[in-house]
Amino acid sequence: MKVGLFGGSFNPPHDGHRLVAEIALRTLGLDQLWWMVTPGNPLKSKRELAPLDERIARSETLFPHPKIRVTAFERALGSSYTAQVLAHVKARNPAVDFVWIMGADNLRNFHRWQNWQKIAMTFPIAVIDRPGSTLSFLSSQMARTFDFARIDEHDAGLLPRMPAPVWTFIHGPRSSLSSTAIRNQNGQT
């Protein structure tokens, strides 16, 4: 089975997230996408973070799709570090071919994540284009460090079965929606 892992705060979830998920499902030929709602991002303030159960419920309501499964693995593990959560998921599902999915806006700061190089050495990574972040696949520290492992996006369908390190940047329709802008518009600075 080929499964995409798409993590984030989803505070709130929006159609831009749905677009990333749909592009990943289609382009990578995934059997499922596990939508991983985090209790909190260690690199972001928790002051404006909506309760986890609310973000999970909103994600399930906004994205009813037979191949998308909304999860909260991090809550059960008591960890907010992606590398720890992904290692646990992989250990519990050894027969599954996983792909880590991220928006290009996260690629810019991926090198600040705990054990980011271990993530890249363990999981194929699909980076989905986001407005204002297209050039990050050339300039980010991750892109420069793992330049040798980048495959052309036309071969993205092969990614789930390829051994890490391997990654691709997928261009396509982009949504200008952002959770921060939505919160600011609703007066939730």
Quick: pLDDT tens for 134-183. 556 667 899 999 999 999 999 999 999 999 999 999 987 544 544 454 44
Q: Percent of the chain, pLDDT > 90?
A: 54
Global confidence as pTM = 0.86
Task: Return the CATH class of domain 2-185.
Answer: alpha beta
Query: Can you tell me whether residue 85 is helix, strand or coil?
Result: helix
Contacts of 14 (CB under 8 A, 6+ apart): 62, 175, 177, 178, 179, 182
Which one, of 67, 27, 22, lies nearest residue 158 by Cα? 27
Contacts of 119 (CB under 8 A, 6+ apart): 82, 83, 86, 100, 113, 125
Report which residue type is found at 25: L
Render pLDDT for 95-144 as a digit per residue (tens, 0 to 9).
999 999 998 888 888 999 999 999 999 999 999 987 655 556 667 899 99
Find where tokens 């600040």 sit.
112
Give the domain ranges of the chain: 2-185
Cβ of 112: how many Cβ atoms within 10 Å? 11
Over range 70-84, report the average pLDDT.
83
Residues written for the chain: 189
Report which residue type is found at 157: G
Cβ of 184: how many Cβ atoms within 10 Å? 12
**Exposure string for 57-66, b = 16+ CB within 10 A, e = fewer:** ebbeeebeee
Contacts of 50 (CB under 8 A, 6+ apart): 11, 12
- What single DSSP character describes residue 46? S
3 φ, ψ (degrees, to nearest 5) = -125, 130
